Amino acid sequence: MKRERLVETFKTMVQIDSQSGEEGAMHEFLTDKFKQLGLTVKEDDSMLSTGLGANNLVATLAGTNTAKEPIFFSAHTDTVSPGNGIKVVERDGVLYSDGTTILGADDKAGIAIMLEAIETIIEEELPTGKVEFVLSPGEEIGLVGSSAMSMDLIESRVGYVLDNAGPVGSAIIASPTLYMYDVTITGKAAHAGLEPEKGVSAMAVLAQALPHIQTGRIDAETTANIGVISGGQATNVVMDEAVLKGEVRSISKDKADALIKEMTQAFETAAKDNGAEVAINVDLKATGYRMTDDLTVMKLFRRSVEALAIAPRTEVSGGGSDANVFNAKGKEVVNLSIGYEEIHTTSEYIPVSEMEKGVALVLRLIEHSPTKK
């Protein structure tokens, strides 16, 4: 492993603008880089269906040990805004932006870790089985790239997403099912002072439905929120339309489903009682997962972290990642911490020492991957 090369690779990549939907240049760079390192690269046609700036990529290191089970690592190539024109500042072994943009360690630190691990394997002639590196666009806007990917592109059954905050040595073992929904209530306008009885009030529907919808912290693994309510034309017009947007998250899909059913029934009943119409659109953004210690992905994680003299840590997350998609599609995957902090802000940073630990962990995971049965 070479610290200077790791840092330079990271700096090069974060200076390639790749906000969500604009990942094309980043994917061109990665395709060229993987091929220069001798990996084969497969690309799907997901851009056609998603409208994103690039397709999913899977780069494969063939390895020399055919007795090993294949393993994969995943990172996303898009960033949030402000993510254009990033300038990296290094202070006391920690990488920051200049304060006008994000840093982009989420998730280009994960990609830099992948590339340095590959360089190290090649230079030190380390024996490995087949290793696949999966790069997806559109993660920050709803796991769009990975959701559009066919799992036929990935041979490995077990994998690790390199995309969580905090010190290396932690894994997200549970992540929620996430539903986002919008509700459009259509009533009838009328003059509120002259003939309100001729109107059908969308506000009346809201007033009846909302007390029957749970929000906030429901229990230890479940939350719900209504974040947007808009509607109306003027104070003297009966509100003829209202739009509401909300979400439900739970580690238990059954609980999430129950809350969505509760919301739907509340609005349908209120609309009927008030003579209004209602259209409800529910979008499943991520399917939750929960890992147990007996699974290969967890046994391999614990063994590899302990080999670095780090105590393994586990987390339950309130957010989703590409790991949710991979698990829903039949893979066995957890999301690993890679050292970045304060993501999605202009104060984002990552210690170089954590990136180095990330490389070491990837190498141990490859080394300890199981033998084929």
| Segments making up each domain of the chain, as ranges | 3-175+289-368, 177-286
Q: How many Cβ atoms are within 10 Å of 371's Cβ, its own excluded?
A: 9
Beta bridge partners of 229: 244
Is 140 annotated in a binding site? The answer is yes
Helix axes 105-124, 352-368, angle to 10 degrees: 50
Place of tokens 């991979």: 326
As assigned by CATH, the class of the 3-175+289-368 domain is alpha beta
As assigned by CATH, the class of the 177-286 domain is alpha beta
Q: Which residues contact 123 (CB under 8 A, 6 or more apart)?
A: none
Cis bond upstream, residue 82 (ω within 30):
yes
pLDDT at 44: 95
36: its two tokens: 């220069």
Has 139 been annotated as catalytic?
yes
Identified catalytic residue from 116, 132, 139, 221: 139
pLDDT at 51: 87
pLDDT at 32: 98
Q: Could you tell me the mean pLDDT of each successive run of 10 residues in the chain, 373 residues long?
A: 97 98 97 98 93 95 95 98 98 97 98 98 97 97 94 97 98 96 98 97 98 96 97 96 97 96 98 98 94 97 97 94 96 98 98 98 97 88
CA distance 304 to 177: 28
CA distance 336 to 90: 24
Q: Which residues contact 92 (CB under 8 A, 6 or more apart)?
A: none
CA distance 105 to 159: 20
Is 106 annotated in a binding site? The answer is yes
Is 43 annotated in a binding site? The answer is no
Mean pLDDT of the chain: 97
Residue 42 sits at φ, ψ, to 5 deg, of -110, 145
Question: What's the pTM value of the predicted model, to 2 decimals?
Answer: 0.91
332: its two tokens: 């066995």
Residue 266 sits at φ, ψ, to 5 deg, of -65, -45
Q: What is the 3-state secondary structure (H, E, C) of 131-152?
A: EEEEEECCHHHCCHHHHHCCHH
3-state secondary structure of 6: helix
CA distance 219 to 126: 47
pLDDT in tens, 127-185: 999 999 999 999 999 899 999 999 999 999 999 999 999 999 999 999 999 999 999 99
Query: CA torsion, points 160, 175, 280, 212, in degrees to nearest 10?
Result: 180
CA distance 80 to 101: 10
